[in-house]
Structure 1
Amino acid sequence: MNTQKSLQTSALSKEPKLLNVAFNQDQSCFAICSEKGFQVFSTYPMEMKMERDFTLTGRRLTHDEETGSGHWKEADTAVKSSTTGIGIIKMLYKTNYVALVGGGKKPRFPLNKLCIWDDLKEKNSIILEFTTPILNVHLSRTHIIVLLKNMVLVYSFKLKPDLIFSFDTIDNYSGVSDHAITENSSILVFPCRNSGQLHIVDILNKKKNSSEGDEDKKTVSLIKAHKNPIQCVCLSPSGKMVASASDIGTIIRVHDTRSCALLYEFRRGLDNAIITDMKFSPNGMKLAVLSDKNTLHIYHVYGDEVNGKNKTHILKDLPLFPNYFKSTWSFVSKDVGNKNDVINDVGTLGWADDESVIIIWKFRGIWEKYDIIINNSIEHNKGSRWQIVKEGWRSVC
């Protein structure tokens, strides 16, 4: 996914309430960060699970005369911290570890320093420093993955991380990448050195060799996904499919990560747009796409008579017509923007379940839930069988 999409502001617009939003590996929780610190919520129902406000450091270690040990106590007068902003946050499932990179007007940490924060101990447990700013991060129980402007670095997850793999990339200022973890694989996708191409790496691929025993090997594949630079990518939960969009934003392509074969080609629209986020449903059968036009599109990845099919043009089977008429469109879509916004808000996608999409908006700082339901108000042959309904919203900050 594109986690570092630049936010264009105008003189009349306010600053975004959230600097970054990220769902955890199974989309059961999401983390937000801001100029003050970070928070972690359950996806649905939305409940706060963790909070760290760096603006107040009013805690001090006091001595207990009875036990002879020290313990934390709230100070009588809170001390204000001058460096509080977090620009990137990533969770490790539902553990107490989160990856933090400084950001905002007063960064808590330098932009080139990755801190693995242990919230139980209330301190950094692992620190990695680089010569250039960090643009994206991914975590697993065994690896720490760091994206720089034109490099991807894979480290072991331990107190003193070892560099395992490194890959050169095209200039990737938005940190475009995604990571999918299963029991037998750890699939990483990012742009390679050629524009429009994707690098697929299994960093946890274990193959049995009769002569050498168990040996760790990395599997690397290249996919020629688009002619233009890659704008956004996402992996299915199984890691078997990768969806991608270029900076043109009219076509979304889904490839097999093992064979690199093109599985599906979906059309978002006719005019150009910036795809701000994409996310597969937990069962991998639907793909949600959000653009800077604030239109939410849902595609069936496996269409059948039960689940329904994506839309096609009535003239698709006629010869000599342009490819536009042969396109496959989303089976349902909805305008989820706010007309009162001075500028378009930027949303991050997640799924509460296989029929419910979550959007976290950065500028407004709100959580919204949209349900995909059967449209009973019209006959199937006169309109869409499906519709997207806004189920509710809440503020996250």
Structure 2
Amino acid sequence: MASSSAGAAAERSASVVHLAFNPYANRFIAATATGVHVFSCDPFRRVFCEDVEVYPDSTTSWKVAIAEMLNEAFVAVVFRGAKPNGGGFMDRIFFWSVLGGRMYGMEKRLPFDVVSGFRLVGEYLLVAGDEKTVLYEMAHHAAVPTKVKVVDTAHNPLGLCAVAQPDGLARSVLVSPQKNKGMLQVHRLGEHPIYLRAHYSTVVSFALSHDGRLLATAGSKGTLVRIFSTNDGKLLQEVRRGTDRADIHCIAFSPDSKWLAVSSDKCTVHVFRVNVDSTSSGSAPKNGSSSGHGSFQEAAAPSPAANASQGSYLSFLKGLLPGYFRSERSWAQVYLREDVKYLVAFGRQRNTVLVIGMDGSFYRCQFDPEIGGEMKQLEYRNFMDIKG
């Protein structure tokens, strides 16, 4: 990689092609077609901005398509170029040791031409492509990762994939789409996979809790988000974003798995209270509702306290209405600029939510865990205009 003041200035005005928080949500990376920008979230500051030297192939024009980071010292970049003879694109993954200033390509050949998504978590690199997801172990030398598992998936243009590497002796958890619409597969190394029907519609977003015990999912209808146990695939809770159709852009658990944040194309970020215990296998909702294996016919009903705090005018009908109407409403919300794709994460400051947008926006918002309602905006920045 090489940087220049002129190049950095040009990059600040370039369009963002990919955004991602690192696994700890203390930093995020913004990629343009020719550069990467890394920012610290708390306090907010730009860590570095670098132009990227395209992959050295004189016959192909290579551009940055995706960038992910593990920490401030390690970044992975997907370069995309047109095939020399036409007929589509091809991708190469490069790793960048920031502290050493060295970039090197992944020597292993991928089982697909185009990378639709990937994650860097702990010692693992998870790469999603068309109809396959591949898990690599990065424990030794990044240029020669060890292939651990290949999972057959449905067509996956959104690059849906998730991996969690819990602390202690808990095994890593991998989630990817299954061949059938609305189905997901949960893998733990050395164990049989679990298949669960998350939605009747196509799954468009999902996220694992930090300990890998909970899985939150959203379908293409975008009205409901469901929380499952990864231990046995049981539905534990159902929450409602709204009644109108929406494209869910991002789902994120808080580090303690007590809260869930959801962003959509409705220019709203919702925060939901998670009413399940992630520390026990196949836990039932804390309010005592039950749910069957692989079923979401009956949703977890909100607790009386939650109903009272939200002033639900349907609370007196609880038990008479079908589960569809008893799904829990969001605890807190924040309304943002329209027509922007937003990613969400929970901040280090107590009860804060971080929001980054493809338009270069950064928000830090805070919610009240006792009262709920509209969140307070603590900070706003346009990160693509940050200088120095």
User: TM-score band (shorter)?
Assistant: 0.7 to 0.9
Which amino acid in 2 is paired with 1:256?
S
1:1-397 matches, within 5 Å, as 17-54=15-52, 85-94=63-72, 96-102=73-79, 111-119=90-98, 120-124=100-104, 126-130=106-110, 131-157=112-138, 158=141, 159-183=143-167, 184-203=170-189, 217-302=190-275, 309=306, 311=310, 313-318=312-317, 321-338=321-338, 344-353=339-348, 354-362=350-358, 364-373=359-368, 385-397=372-384
Contact 2:20–2:30 (Cα < 8 Å) also in 1: yes
5+ unaligned residues in a row in structure 1: which ranges? 1-14, 58-81, 204-216, 339-343, 376-383
- Per-residue deviation, residues 251-277 of structure 1 (Å, max 9, x unmatched): 100001102111100111111111011
Which amino acid in 1 is paired with 2:75?
V
- Per-residue deviation, residues 267-306 of structure 1 (Å, max 9, x unmatched): 111111110111111221100111111111110003899x
Contact 2:267–2:336 (Cα < 8 Å) also in 1: yes
Q: Aligned-residue CA RMSD in angstroms?
A: 2.9
Change (3 A) 1:137 1:374: closer
Runs of 4 or more above 6 Å deviation: none
Change (3 A) 1:265 1:312: farther
Contact 2:80–2:92 (Cα < 8 Å) also in 1: no
Greater helix share, structure number: 2
Corresponding residue pairs, total: 326
Q: Radius of gyration: which is bigger?
A: 1
CA distance in 1 between counterparts of 2:76 and 2:265 reads 27
Residue in 1 that maps onto 2:300? none
- Per-residue deviation, residues 168-190 of structure 1 (Å, max 9, x unmatched): 10111101122222123321111
CA distance in 1 between counterparts of 2:148 and 2:54 reads 38
Which amino acid in 2 is paired with 1:40?
V
- Per-residue deviation, residues 188-225 of structure 1 (Å, max 9, x unmatched): 1111111111111124xxxxxxxxxxxxx245211111
CA distance in 1 between counterparts of 2:311 and 2:53 reads 53
CA distance in 2 between counterparts of 1:236 and 1:129 reads 30
- Per-residue deviation, residues 5-25 of structure 1 (Å, max 9, x unmatched): xxxxxxxxxx97211111111
Please report the TM-score for the alignment, with normalisation by the length of structure 1.
0.75
Identity between Structure 1 and Structure 2 (%): 24
Greater strand share, structure number: 1
Structure 1 position 328, deviation (Å): 1.2
Which amino acid in 2 is paired with 1:163?
K
5+ unaligned residues in a row in structure 2: which ranges? 1-12, 83-88, 277-285, 288-304
Q: SS in structure 2 opposite 1:170?
A: coil
Which amino acid in 2 is paired with 1:100?
V
CA distance in 1 between counterparts of 2:234 and 2:225 reads 14
CA distance in 2 between counterparts of 1:238 and 1:148 reads 25
